[in-house]
Amino acid sequence: MTANDDVGRLLLRCADRPGLVAAVSDFLAKAGANIVSLDQHSTEQSGGTFVQRTIFHLPGLRAARHDLERDFAARVATRFGMDFALTEASRPKRLAIMVSREDHCLLDLLWRNRRGELDMSVAMVISNHPDLADQTRSFGVPFVHVPATEDIRAQAEQRQLELLRDNVDLVVLARYMQILTPQFLAGVGCPLINIHHSFLPAFIGAAPYRRAKERGVKLVGATAHYVTETLDDGPIIEQDVVRVNHRHGVGDLIRLGADVERAVLSRAVLWHCEDRIIRHGNQTIVF
């Protein structure tokens, strides 16, 4: 047995009203579960949205999960109009990582996963370039090269969807330098997390760090967010910055930016895999 055996995670969101915490706690208690931790938040003192993350221990959870989920939907979720997700902590999320030529975010995720810092299963790495094949396979992870240019985007996305659909729980864009179409996002069937430098929208396009140096920026940062149809406008999960000054050259900014990018992305992926994130409109609440 492991520490995660028989541990469940219950995430929920609904209109706020009295009695929500009591209803959830009462249901779990009657099911024989022991609540290990409970985090909650209401967006307003009254009339807002209520979100909650509950960690509980229930002997035999794997066998009981289907019935528990069905009963919670019937007895609690329907009554309060809740959106909810019930997961098992012992079942790691299955991920695909998409990457182009830059290796820092990809290798950081694979390294942390191998060390046991990220509880996830990496099903594959998909890239529009072959450059990182050997480095990826050294971690024992399949590498799939799918060329993707503007001229063959439809064919490339179709191949990617064949690999991803119904096969993974999350897609991580670890510096994947292609814009994904709305058709791809609608068809992939799971969330996507992206990482980018936090200069957006001030430094859009090529060579953002060179342009940042030319403007004399004082902070280099990165943002991890869920992907939506609107480019780089999805709900933000995590951000961080590092201070820079006039002594830093373009190469320094690129190096420092890469450090921030991989740290921010790894935290965002960790929180998603631990079911710590609840989306509220175009925002996230991270417990």
Please give the pLDDT value at position 1: 61
Q: Are 94 and 120 in contact (CB under 8 A)?
A: yes
Q: Render pLDDT for 65-104 as a digit per residue (tens, 0 to 9).
A: 999 999 999 999 999 999 999 999 999 999 999 999 999 9
Residue with tokens 């895999």: 273
| Nearest in space to 145 (alpha carbons), one of 161, 165, 167, 160 | 160
Q: Render pLDDT for 97-146 as a digit per residue (tens, 0 to 9).
A: 999 999 999 999 999 999 999 999 999 999 999 999 999 999 999 999 99
Please give the pLDDT value at position 38: 97
Strand order in the sheet with 7-15: 34-42, 49-57, 7-15, 83-88
Whether residue 200 has pLDDT greater than 60: no
| Sequence-separated (6 or more) residues with CB below 8 Å from residue 67 | none
Q: Are 125 and 99 in contact (CB under 8 A)?
A: yes
Is 134 an annotated catalytic residue?
A: no
Q: Which of 232, 240, 252, 259 is catalytic?
A: 232
> Residues of the chain with pLDDT > 90: what percent?
87
| Predicted TM-score (pTM) of this structure | 0.93
How confident is the prediction for the chain on average, in pLDDT?
Answer: 94
Name the helix (H) or strand (E) containing 201: none
Q: Are 262 and 172 in contact (CB under 8 A)?
A: no
270 three-state secondary structure: helix
Please give the pLDDT value at position 201: 56
| Nearest in space to 136 (alpha carbons), one of 179, 99, 180, 177 | 99
Residue 115 identity (one-letter amino acid)? R
